[in-house]
Amino acid sequence: MKLLLIAGNWKSNKTISESEDWIQKFNAKCQMLNAKWENKTVVLCAPFTLLNILKESIEAEKLPLGLGAQDVSPFGDGAYTGEISARMLKGLADWVIIGHSERRKYFMENDEVLAQKVAKAKEAGLKVIYCVPDDKMSVPRSVDVVAYEPVWAIGTGKSDSPENANSVISSIKKQSGIHIVIYGGSVTAENVFSFVSQDAIDGVLPGGASLDPVMFARLITAAISG
């Protein structure tokens, strides 16, 4: 069966109480749909401040959700004020997004620092989702998943065409040697199946559509059943 990875990226959104509300509503939807989600990987990439509470709720409610962070320090533990090291994350999250275009743009992260982040994440045993805007960007060999996210499609409501995303993703797979590549950029419950039904596309990375629990549950159902 084809692999399917759905990773919701909350970006810089939600307070503790908003995240608790999300879990409650998502749980209500999950109860009905749980069986269908077997063998699919659904991950929630949340702000650092929410990982602990989300982990507890996910375990308590036995939700079929993995947890990911959205960034990690390029350094280890130590005198790096404000940073969250990979070792601190391990135990709270299994996944981490590295190299999101928003990190590259607003925080001036370059290939060198991103390679250090990947190395630290892998040392700690985290699974890395590495974002690239096209098939020209270099990808560290040790990442687990690449996310193709064209910058112009992020948060604009204008997604790439499934056919073009499929061809860019095929090219990324060939050049990087990474076997799991997903698409992100204005993915919705309405268009998700057109992406995941393409040969080369192994899943999606929705941002805005993961913020609402009912919408996210609809997106997952649509990805699985068309």
Dihedral sign computed on CA atoms, order 94, 98, 100, 104 = positive
**Rule CB under 6 A: which of 53-92 touch ligand 13P?**
none
By CB under 6 A, tell whether 184 contacts ligand 13P: yes
Q: Which of 187, 201, 219, 223 binds ligand 13P (CB under 6 A)?
A: 187
| HSE value, Cβ hemisphere, 13 Å, CA-based, for 40 | 23
Nearer to ligand 13P, 86 or 153 (CB): 153
Q: Could you give the residue ranges of the DSSP H alpha helices within the chain?
A: 16-33, 48-61, 86-89, 101-106, 111-123, 162-176, 192-196, 213-225
Return the number of other C-beta atoms located less than 10 Å from residue 197's C-beta. 13
Q: Are 198 and 167 in contact (CB under 8 A)?
A: no
Q: Is 100 a catalytic residue?
A: yes
Burial class (CB in 10 A: 0-12, 13-18, 19+), 39: exposed
We find the least distance from the C-beta atom of residue 188 to ligand 13P, in angstroms, to be 8
By CB under 6 A, tell whether 162 contacts ligand 13P: no
Nearest Cα residue to 197 out of 223, 158, 165, 178: 223
By CB under 6 A, tell whether 186 contacts ligand 13P: yes
Count of helix runs (H) and strand runs (E) in the chain: 8, 8
Nearer to ligand 13P, 8 or 79 (CB): 8
We find the least distance from the C-beta atom of residue 66 to ligand 13P, in angstroms, to be 16
Q: x/- contact string, 103-142, with ligand 13P (CB under 6 A)?
A: ----------------------------------------
Q: Which of 46, 205, 219, 220 binds ligand 13P (CB under 6 A)?
A: 205
We find the least distance from the C-beta atom of residue 163 to ligand 13P, in angstroms, to be 19
We find the least distance from the C-beta atom of residue 180 to ligand 13P, in angstroms, to be 16
- What is the CA angle 151-153-158, rounded to 5? 160
Residues labelled catalytic: 100, 149
**Which residues are near ligand 13P by CB under 6 A?**
9, 100, 149, 154-155, 184-187, 205-209
